[in-house]
Amino acid sequence: MPSLAVEIPALDAYPLGAHAWYPESLPARGVVLVHSATGVPERLYFAFAQYVAQRGLIAVTYSYRGIDGSCPPALRGFRARMRDWADLDVEGVTRWAFERYPSLPIYAVGHSFGGHAIGLCECSNRLTAAVQVASHAGAMRMVSHQRERARVTMLMHWVAPALVRLTGYMPGRKLGIGEDLPAGVLLEWSRWTRLPNYFFDDPTLDADARFARVRTPILSLGFDDDPWATPMGLDMFVSRLRNAPVTRLEIPAKRSDAGAIGHMGYFRQRSGAFLWPETIDWLLSAGSTRVAADASDRDATGTGGRRASMTVESASFPIAPA
């Protein structure tokens, strides 16, 4: 499906490079915002966006400031923190979607940090429903395999900060570990990974209170071969969404004919045939349920309020016959 290149203003008017993917038949059933993982190029999400459009929804992919299509001419001296991606970029894209498509339900799919942003952003309560893919509390202590924990600790706590101080940015491309990152993003991320409960222990972010304000239905997906988003990190993360209806699913990679999924594989086409249909089905179903619940609450209270609840379950995703 063809895409339309667009420029979306962040909350502070910083221009974000983006693409909108439209279904062949209009009107669309809704809009799905795709919030990316840290240092991941926008193109990883194109196949998923095409599938979303095939299901009759508009998909919006984009890059955070300092990354890929939203990168300035030079990263050295470019000022950005990781929290800016949530507070300015994700917030800005979400508000833009509500202004651009006022009559359509707005959904979000957040990958890793993109799922963090759903919990942090004020606009998330306006979403009809959201999916968090491999979105975990990224504290280093929650990486379960000792060798991987040692490798990532060396990178995040020693090598990367040293490179940032030497070059003025994180040269991820040269290291083969993703896109280049602004210095402030890498240094804030590195600091959060040292905290026992990740950014929930950063008093300047107030993440716990922000997560508690979210009441949007959320599906949290984890994969049993993901070395970083472990069950401990995923469960701790969704436990902070204590006023949202959350469904937490752990998907066994062996049930996917596509093989390994890991931290990045969900958005690759080989996994899409098994994983994407149920995700979109869930979004549409949760959206219908929320609309009905909101209507019921308006009838009962006259305020338009919504009763908060939380249901967390671990289950196998029905992606293929056992």
- What's the pLDDT score for residue 153? 85
Asked if residues 46 and 179 have their Cβ atoms less than 8 Å apart, the reply is: no
Task: Give the whole-number percent of the chain exceeding pLDDT 90.
Answer: 74
Q: What Rg value do the Cα atoms of the chain yield, rounded?
A: 19
Average pLDDT, integer, range 230-239: 94
Helix (H, G, I), strand (E, B), or coil: what is residue 222?
Answer: strand
Please report the DSSP string for 123-151 in residue order. GGGGSSEEEEES-----GGG--SHHHHHH
Could you read off the pLDDT of 71-81 as tens digits, one per residue? Answer: 999 999 999 99
Contact 185, 80 (CB under 8 A): yes
Task: Look at residue 294 in the predicted model and tell me its pLDDT.
Answer: 57
CATH 1.10.10.10 fits 3-296, yes or no: no
Cis peptide before 182 (omega within 30 of 0): no
Are the C-beta atoms of residues 98 and 127 closer than 8 Å to each other?
A: no
Measured over the CA atoms of residue 294, residue 296, residue 298 and residue 302, the dihedral's sign is: negative
3-9 vs 15-21, strand pairing mode: antiparallel
Q: Is the pLDDT of residue 29 over 90?
A: yes
pLDDT score, position 318: 47
Least confident of 13-17, 181-185, 287-291: 287-291
pLDDT for 307 equals 40
Quote the mean pLDDT of the chain. Answer: 89
- Supply 80's token pair: 């950005």
pLDDT in tens, 270-310: 888 889 999 999 999 997 776 555 555 545 545 444 444 44
DSSP conformation letters of 158-183: IIHHHHHHHHSEE-HHHHTSSS-EEH
Please give the full DSSP string across 228-265, using - where no structure is assigned.
Answer: SS-HHHHHHHHHT-TTS-EEEEEE-GGG-TT---TTTG
Confidence of residue 110 (pLDDT cuts 50, 70, 90): very high
How many Å apart are CA 120 and CA 123, to the nearest integer? 9
| pLDDT band for position 322 (cuts 50, 70, 90) | very low
How far apart, in whole angstroms, are the C-alpha atoms of residue 197 and residue 160? 21
